[in-house]
Structure 1
Amino acid sequence: MKTYVKKTALISFVAAGLLLFSCSKNDDSGDDGSVNFSAENTARAAQADNVVEGSFNIMESGYVEVEEGRSNSISLFPNCTVITITPDGNGGGTILLDFGDGCQLNNGAQVTGSILLEYGPIDGGTRTINYTYQSFTYNNNAVTGGGVIVRTIANSNGNPQSTATENITVSFPGTEITATREGTRTIEWVEGVGSGTWADNVFHITGNWDTVFTNGFSRSGEVTETLVRKLSCIYLVSGVLEIQQEGFTGAIDWGNGSCDNQATLIINGQEYPILL
């Protein structure tokens, strides 16, 4: 089991490497609808999406196990995770998820560093949580920054839900280029609630965000078909993100629900596979 460390108080109580992007514009076809775009930057932006979503699910799973007790019989976190809980005596407190110099979670994600959560008491069925990544990496991608979550115990569907604003920077291995993502997302926990294990947890993600690279590349994205994250998979498994970049509008399709390392960029009806 993972290690829990609880400090005294009055009340106690988400495969690495650079994305490989493959495309063929069929230049000799005479297709006037072809679009010039940066394959490398497009692939890195999709990678940043996957890293941010995976990191968020790890953070949220730690909170759920500690404060909501929904999945603690079979944990996502192995012995290499140290979880420190510090209640503040007023219904809130902090949780530190410490992965040390390297920890492979039970869903296969490789992480290092730590994630800090700071939160107040539940008020009217919601709680505000501030989260910060501290020297954190997800599958060899460094993640810094954080955001604010409004956690709802039960939404109109009766499911737990998090509405998150974020300002997160992702650093990719093998390059000095970094990507900063700002936006707002809603994450609804739609399957596995109360089952006692992390393995069947499924989340639906909607929202919009902007991604800006230090090399000048920028991309705006809005979810047009709900993104789906299975906690048992280190990749997004389905959904569509409409994107605007480099003077064109396109879409990234994350697949049909299978856990694989494939997504598809769609521009003017042409498809370009992305290998994650």
Structure 2
Amino acid sequence: MKLLVKKFALFSCLAASILISSCSNTDDSGDVAVDYSAENSTRAAQADNVIENTLNIMENGYVEAEEGRSIANSFFPACTVITIIPNGEGGTIILDFGTGCTLNNGSVVTGKINLEYGGIVSGTRTITYTFEEFTYNGHGVTGGGEIVREIENANGFPASTVNETITVHFSNTEITATRVGLRMAEWIEGVGSGTWEDNVYRITGNWETTFSNGFSRSGEVTEPLIRKLSCVYLVSGTLDITQQSITGTLDFGDGTCDNVATFIFNGQEYTIILGL
């Protein structure tokens, strides 16, 4: 699989959190065993969820501050201080969550996200993002990258293409997970409605996540992932993953908002818990 890092993001390899401590599968020759690590799989799910939600926070911060959308019913509560510093045709947006702020979808965040951007060129704008002591549900987030924001893409939707190098620092452990990849998100429902609650995104892309303990995983979206901003989990779509020298498919379901997905490997199905 070709990893498109330098173009412009989950997204993530969310095939994780298998509800068994380990299992072994043997191929047709009977001489290949595969062991699953429940601990590493859980961390992979947590990392993907943290990153996807962080990207949604950034995108909605920009949309509300610069494009003036969803202001009637903001995604951000009063504990979020949003500062806009103009600079010619561009500027800087600072999303400051202080020492603790619960967003309107229930996520708890702290610290700051900085978004710097230039002017609009041919209907697109490049946004550079960085973090300052930012945490999502207790997990630290560092790194950064660029977002190419399209006012309207070829399909007629507002869209963001993210080039990401983001590290998640898990709480209560020294282990970190760094995701490098490309994530494209189209805003397919709720545009111009004045509220964040009906916003729906279609996500494609590919990425690789490397853990400080040596575990790694790569993923590629094969059926667009669907994200409802009112839900902190993906609700449908499929992701092909490679980990521990095996490949499989993660199916996120039928559109229901829950923390359950299905991992399919060698014709067998495993229930996956995605949540924190």
Same fold at TM > 0.5: yes
Counterpart among 235, 240, 243 of residue 241 in structure 2: 243
In structure 2, C-alpha distance between the alignment counterparts of 1:171 and 1:263, rounded to whole Å? 24
- List 4+ stretches of structure 1 deviating above 6 A: 24-31
In structure 1, the partner of 2:95 is: 97
Counterpart among 139, 142, 146 of residue 144 in structure 1: 142
Asked whether the 8 Å contact 1:24–1:272 carries over to 2, the reply is: no
1:46 matches 2:45: yes
Counterpart among 126, 129, 139 of residue 127 in structure 2: 129
In structure 1, the partner of 2:173 is: 175
In structure 1, the partner of 2:59 is: 60
In structure 2, the partner of 1:213 is: 211
Map 1:71-86 → 2, pairs under 5 A: 71-86=70-85
Name structure 1 gaps, 5 residues minimum. Answer: 1-18
Map 1:26-45 → 2, pairs under 5 A: 32=30, 35-45=34-44
Asked whether the 8 Å contact 2:165–2:181 carries over to 1, the reply is: yes
Give the TM-score, by structure 2 length.
Answer: 0.88
In structure 2, the partner of 1:23 is: 20
Deviation of 1:27 (Å)? 6.7
Evaluate the alpha carbon distance shift between residue 264 and residue 174 of structure 1 in structure 2; reply closer, same or farther with a 3 A threshold. farther
Asked whether the 8 Å contact 2:96–2:112 carries over to 1, the reply is: yes
Secondary structure in 2 matching 1:59: helix
Share of identical aligned residues, percent? 64
In structure 1, C-alpha distance between the alignment counterparts of 2:107 and 2:213, rounded to whole Å? 28
Deviation of 1:256 (Å)? 1.7
User: Residues 28-62 of structure 1: CA distance to partner in whole angstroms, max 9, x if unpaired?
Assistant: 99995863222221221122111111110011001
Shifted more, 113-122 versus 237-246: the winner is: 237-246
Deviation of 1:216 (Å)? 0.4
Evaluate the alpha carbon distance shift between residue 97 and residue 268 of structure 1 in structure 2; reply closer, same or farther with a 3 A threshold. same
In structure 2, C-alpha distance between the alignment counterparts of 1:212 and 1:140, rounded to whole Å? 20
- Give the residue type in structure 1 aligned to 2:71: N
Deviation of 1:272 (Å)? 2.0
Shifted more, 74-83 versus 172-181: the winner is: 172-181
Asked whether the 8 Å contact 2:185–2:204 carries over to 1, the reply is: yes
Asked whether the 8 Å contact 1:43–1:274 carries over to 2, the reply is: no
Asked whether the 8 Å contact 1:35–1:267 carries over to 2, the reply is: no
User: Residues 208-229 of structure 1: CA distance to partner in whole angstroms, max 9, x if unpaired?
Assistant: 0000000001111101111111
User: Residues 69-118 of structure 1: CA distance to partner in whole angstroms, max 9, x if unpaired?
Assistant: 11111000011000010001x21000000001111111111111110000
CA RMSD of aligned residues (A): 2.1
Deviation of 1:185 (Å)? 1.1
Evaluate the alpha carbon distance shift between residue 36 and residue 116 of structure 1 in structure 2; reply closer, same or farther with a 3 A threshold. same
Counterpart among 103, 109, 112 of residue 111 in structure 1: 109
